[in-house]
């Protein structure tokens, strides 16, 4: 299949290794020496190791598979399984990891752009993405409409937003990191 594979004799060896910064996945047996596969899944989460996980086991049960899937496993295969089922799960997991890496890189770029904004520009951005007009923002912040236009232009430039819709989309992705100034927001 042309996949690069690394094998580890235990979960501890996996955790101690230098993992490549490439899209991939982890195929775990539920029963491993030392840490069980489920314990390793929890430890990976605690350490922010974000590879998708595929479980394989000859000793699985429904509660075990539910626990693994609730914790984010891509697949839980019970032995014997078809080789194609494992290959399909690996293909899906790598595709998901590739997408997640792209999303994390995009969010990192957005955070970098956001930190380039001045506190006033952040206030303006917060109000712009709510749909307020420049004159409404100016009134809300106690400044002139011309000043808001300048700040808005700086926000668009620094955030590298080509349109208001794009800026709103960026703000949605940064929702937990953009806080509305106290008492500022659209009027009812």
Query: Per-residue pLDDT tens for 123-153?
Result: 999 999 999 999 999 999 999 999 999 999 9
179 pLDDT band, cuts 50/70/90, is: low
What SS3 state is found at 29?
Answer: strand
Extract long-range pairs of 39-48: CB within 8 Å, 24+ residues apart: 39/11, 40/11, 40/14, 40/15, 41/68, 41/71, 41/72, 41/73, 42/71, 43/11, 43/15, 44/15, 45/71, 45/72, 47/15
User: How far apart are alpha carbons 97 and 91 in whole angstroms?
Assistant: 10
Q: Provide the pLDDT for residue 183.
A: 38
Using one digit for the tens of pLDDT, what is the confidence trace for 52-99? Answer: 999 999 887 788 888 888 988 999 999 899 999 999 999 999 999 999
15-19, 100-104, 182-186 — which is least confidently predicted? 182-186
Please enumerate in sequence order all residues whose Cβ is within 8 A of that of 141, keeping only pairs 6 or more positions apart, or say none. Answer: 120, 123, 124, 127, 148, 184
Q: Taking the CB of residue 65, how many other CB atoms lie within 10 A of it?
A: 18
Token reading at 91: 């293909």
182 pLDDT band, cuts 50/70/90, is: very low
User: How far apart are alpha carbons 1 and 93 in whole angstroms?
Assistant: 15
Claim: this prediction has a pTM higher than 0.85: no
In this predicted structure, the answer to whether residue 18 has a pLDDT above a threshold of 60 is yes
Q: Provide the pLDDT for residue 134.
A: 95
Instruction: With beta carbons less than 8 A apart as the criterion, state whether 158 and 95 touch.
Output: no
161 pLDDT band, cuts 50/70/90, is: very high
Task: Report the mean per-residue pLDDT for the chain.
Answer: 90
Is the N-terminal amide bond of 80 cis, ω within 30° of 0?
Answer: yes
188 pLDDT band, cuts 50/70/90, is: very low
Alpha-helical runs (H) found in 26-118: 37-46, 62-70, 83-115
Token reading at 132: 């307020």
Q: Provide the pLDDT for residue 86.
A: 95
Backbone angles phi, psi at 160, to 5 degrees: 60, 45
186 pLDDT band, cuts 50/70/90, is: very low
């Amino acid at each position: 299949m042309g996949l690069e594979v690394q094998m580890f004799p235990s979960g501890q060896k996996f955790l101690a290794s230098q993992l490549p910064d490439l899209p991939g996945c982890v195929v775990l047996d539920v029963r491993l020496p030392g840490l069980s596969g489920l314990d390793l899944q929890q430890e990976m989460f605690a350490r922010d190791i974000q590879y998708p996980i595929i479980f394989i086991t000859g000793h699985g049960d429904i509660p075990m598979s539910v626990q693994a899937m609730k914790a984010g496993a891509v697949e839980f295969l019970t032995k014997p399984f078809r080789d194609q089922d494992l290959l399909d799960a690996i293909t899906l997991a790598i595709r998901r990891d590739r997408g997640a890496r792209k999303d994390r890189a995009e969010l990192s770029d957005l955070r970098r752009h956001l930190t380039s904004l001045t506190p006033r520009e952040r206030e303006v951005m917060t109000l712009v993405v709510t749909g307020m007009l420049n004159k409404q923002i100016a009134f809300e912040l106690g400044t002139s409409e011309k000043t808001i236009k300048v700040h808005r232009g700086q926000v668009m430039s620094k955030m590298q937003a080509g349109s208001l819709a794009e800026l709103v989309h960026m703000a949605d992705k940064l929702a937990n990191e953009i806080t509305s100034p106290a008492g500022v927001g659209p009027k009812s």
